[in-house]
Amino acid sequence: MQMKKLIVIGGGPAGMMAAVRAARLGADVTLLEKNAELGRKLLLTGKGRCNLTNACGLEEFLGRFSGKGGPFLRDAFKAFFNEELIAFFQERGLSCKIERQQRVFPETDQAASVLTVLRKELDRLKVKVFLLSTVKEILVDDPAGGRGVVLTDGKRIDADKVILAAGGLSYKATGSTGDGLKIASQLGHAVIAPLAALVPLKTKPDFPKMISGLTLKNVRVLASDGKRKILSPVGELGFTDFGISGALILSLSGMVVKWLHEKKPVFVLIDLKPALSLPQLRARFIREASASPGKTIEQIFALFLPVELVKVFLTLVGVAGDIPVNQIKPIQRDKFIALLKAIRLDISGSLSIEAAMVTSGGVSLKEINPRTMESRRIKGLYFAGEMIDVDGDTGGFNLQAAFSTGYLAGQSAAG
Ligand SMILES: Cc1cc2nc3c(=O)[nH]c(=O)nc-3n(C[C@H](O)[C@H](O)[C@H](O)COP(=O)(O)OP(=O)(O)OC[C@H]3O[C@@H](n4cnc5c(N)ncnc54)[C@H](O)[C@@H]3O)c2cc1C
C-alpha cells in the first residue's frame, strides 16, 4: 500500500505532535516551519520551565476552557490526555513532576528538554522537517482530495492531506503572526475575531501605578460588565504601572477583553479579605480601635492592610492618617470596611494581543469535526492547536490542548 503523503504547517507543540503521531502510524510526513528552528514559543512557556499540562481530572480540565472550548476538546482528550502526555515524555527519558495547583513540569525545569524530546522523535520517525519555509497558500482545487501547499518562495509541495497548526497571534516574534487564520479564511472558513486572552488589564484610576510591584495573595476578584459577572477563586493579584496582573487577572482576562470588545463598561471589585464577612471585619475594627484608642488611624489601617495600601485607603476613605482612631467617624470606618471587601477598579483596556499568553477566537468550532479535527468544509484539511477557537486558563491547559488536538489531527489524517 502506498504511504499517505501528509504536510503539517507549523512546528509548534501542536504541529510537532501531529507530525509525530502521523509518522508513527506510517504516513510520509513533511513538517513546514517558517522560523529557523522549531518550537520557539514552546521555549518561552512556563517562564522557560514549560508547564506542559495539568494533572487534574477530565471534567475539571474541560471546565478550564472558555465558551464551547471544553466540550469541543472532549474527544481530543479521550484520544490523548494528560497521563498519556506525561507517559509520552517519560518513555522518551524525560520525567515530569507535579507542582502546586497540579501544574506539570519536566523534572529538568527546562522547556528545552521538552523540545529536545519532540525533535528527536521527529528525527527517529523520519519526518522531513523544512525550516525557513513559510506557507502562503493551501491548494484544494481538487474536490476529491488532491492537495498541496505553496510556499512564499513559490515552491509547491503536493500531499494527500494537510494539517494546519500555525498558531494564533500572540508573541509575534515566535512566528505566530496569524498566517494560519488568514489561510483558513481564504479557504472559506469562518474565523472568530482573534482577541487577547491571559493578558494583564489596564485600569482607569491611577493608584495601581502608585503601588506598582505590590502582589496580594489570598484575594478574590469579581469582574462585571454591569450585567454579567465572573467571580474568581482565591488567589494572587499584582499591581503594575498600567493596572493589574497576576494569575487571577489573567484567568478572567479572556472574558473581560470580550466585554471590552463589545464596548461594555467593565470593572473589577477586589476583595482583600475573602475569608471574613463585613460584620466580622467591623467587629474586628471596633475591637482593635477600643483596645488602643490612642493609636492613629494609619496604625489601625495597617493592621488590616499591607503597608503600601495604607495611603491609598486613607485617600479613598478621605481621612487623615495621623489623628487618633477614636476620632474616626462611623461613616468613615464603614467605608474603610466596605473597601476591604470591594475596591473598585474600572477597566480601560488590556495589553495588546502581542503581550497575551494566548489568542482567543480562531477557526470556528462549528466547522471542525471534534472527533477527527478535520474541516467540515474541505476534505483532507485538518486543524490543530491555538488557531482553533479554544483558549484555556493558565496552568498547562493550553499546551495540553495543542498536544491533544495535534495528536488527534495526526492520527485522523494518517488513518
Ligand atoms: C510567554 C508564554 C508562556 C506560555 N506558557 C504556557 C505554559 O506554561 N503552559 C501552557 O499550557 N501554555 C503556555 N503558553 C501558551 C502556549 O505556548 C500555546 O498555547 C502553544 O504554543 C500553542 O501551540 P501551537 O503549536 O498551536 O502554536 P505555536 O506554538 O504558536 O506554533 C505555531 C508555529 O507555526 C509556525 N508558523 C506560523 N505561520 C506559519 C506559516 N505560514 N508557515 C509555516 N509555519 C508557520 C510558527 O512559526 C510557530 O512555530 C504560553 C504562551 C506564551 C506566549
Atom 20 in ligand 1: residue holding the nearest Cα: 399
State whether the beta carbon of 64 lies less than 6 angstroms from ligand 1: no
Which residue has its alpha carbon closest to ligand 1 atom 5? Answer: 45
Say which DSSP state 48 is in. G
Q: Can you give the pLDDT at residue 102?
A: 97
160 with 294, same domain: the answer is no
Residues 103 and 157 in one domain: yes
Mutational pocket test of ligand 1: of 41, 181, 250, 405, the residue with most ligand atoms within 8 Å of the beta carbon: 41
Residue nearest to atom 47 of ligand 1 (CA): 175
CB neighbour list of residue 306: distance below 8 Å, 6 or more residues apart: 214, 216
The whole-angstrom distance between residue 361's C-alpha and the CA centroid of its chain comes to: 12
Distance in Å, CA 395 to ligand 1 centroid: 15
CA of 135 to the centre of ligand 1 (A): 16
Give me ligand 1 centre to Cα 93, in Å. Answer: 24
- Ligand 1 contact, 176 CB (< 6 A): yes
Contact 158, 142 (CB under 8 A): no
Domain boundary among 322, 350, 378: 350
294, 329, 350: which is the final residue of a domain?
350
**Calpha distance 85→397 (Å, rounded):** 12
Amino acid at site 7:
I
pTM: 0.94
C-alpha cell at 127: 519526518
Instruction: Give me the helices (H) in 242-366, please.
Output: 247-261, 278-291, 297-302, 307-317, 330-341
Q: CB count, 10 Å around CB of 40?
A: 20
Contact present, 302 and 322 (Cβ < 8 Å):
no
CATH number, domain with residue 24: 3.50.50.60
Same domain, 16 and 123: yes
The candidate with the shortest Cα–Cα distance to 319, out of 311, 218, 205, is: 311
List the one residue out of 293, 296, 344, 288 whose CA is nearest residue 320: 296
- Verify that 153 and 238 share a domain, yes or no: no
Instruction: List % helix, strand, coil for the chain (3-state, nearest 5).
Output: 40, 25, 35
Distance between Cα 45 and ligand 1 center (Å): 9
Cα separation, 49 vs 46, whole angstroms: 5
Q: Which residues contact 88 (CB under 8 A, 6 or more apart)?
A: none
CB 201 within 8 A of CB 256: yes
364 CA distance to ligand 1 middle (Å): 19
Structurally, how many domains does the chain consist of?
Answer: 2
205 and 301, same domain (yes or no): yes
User: What is the Rg, in whole angstroms, of the alpha carbon atoms belonging to the chain?
Assistant: 25
Same domain, residue pair 190 and 204: no
179 CB near ligand 1 (under 6 Å): yes
What are 401's three cell numbers? 490542548
Of all atoms in ligand 1, which is nearest to the CA of residue 170? 53
Mutational test site, ligand 1, from 40, 169, 382, 399, max ligand atoms within 8 Å of CB: 399
Q: Are strands 161-164 and 156-159 parallel, antiparallel or unpaired?
A: unpaired
Q: Which of 385, 7, 365, 367 is nearest to 168 (CA)?
A: 385
Ligand 1 contact, 167 CB (< 6 A)? yes
Residue with CA closest to ligand 1 atom 52: 357
The secondary structure of residue 354, as a DSSP letter, is G
How far is the centre of ligand 1, averaged over its atoms, from the C-alpha of 182 (Å)?
A: 16
Pocket perturbation via mutation, ligand 1, pick of 16, 35, 45, 358 by most ligand atoms within 8 A of CB: 45
Residues in the chain predicted with pLDDT less than 70, given as ranges, are: 1-2, 142-146
- Greatest C-alpha distance within the chain: 91
Which ligand 1 atom is at minimum distance from the Cα of 398?
11
Residue 308, domain extent:
200-350
| 201 C-beta closer than 6 A to ligand 1 | no
Statement to judge: residues 332 and 407 lie in one domain = no
For residue 384, which atom of ligand 1 is closest to its CA?
Answer: 26
Query: 220 and 140 in one domain?
Result: no
Report the atom number in ligand 1 closest to the C-alpha of 396. 11
In sign, the C-alpha dihedral spanning 6, 8, 14, 16 is positive
CA-based nearest residue to 89, from 126, 127, 121, 137: 121
DSSP, collapsed to helix, strand or coil, labels residue 245 as: strand
User: Ligand 1 centre and the CA of 262: distance in Å?
Assistant: 27
Determine the pLDDT at residue 142.
61
Q: Are 51 and 121 contained in the same domain?
A: yes
Looking at the fold, whether 118 and 173 belong to one and the same domain comes out as: yes
Instruction: Establish whether residue 350 lines the binding site of ligand 1, counting it when its CB lies within 6 angstroms of any ligand atom.
Output: no
Q: Which residues touch 365 (CB under 8 Å, ≥6 apart)?
A: 68, 69, 72, 388, 389, 390
pLDDT at 140: 85
Domain end, chosen from 350, 368, 393, is at 350
Residues 191 and 279 grouped into a single domain: no
Interatomic CA distance for residues 408 and 295, integer angstroms: 66
164 ligand 1 Cβ < 6 A:
no
Q: Which amino acid is at 66?
A: S
Q: Is the CB of 402 under 6 A from ligand 1?
A: yes
Q: Tell whether 148 and 215 lie within a shared domain.
A: no
Q: Quote the ligand 1 centre to 13 CA distance (angstroms).
A: 7
| Ligand 1 mean position, distance from CA 359 (Å) | 10
**Burial of residue 290 (number of CB atoms within 10 Å: 0-12, 13-18, 19+):** exposed
Write down the pLDDT at residue 144.
55
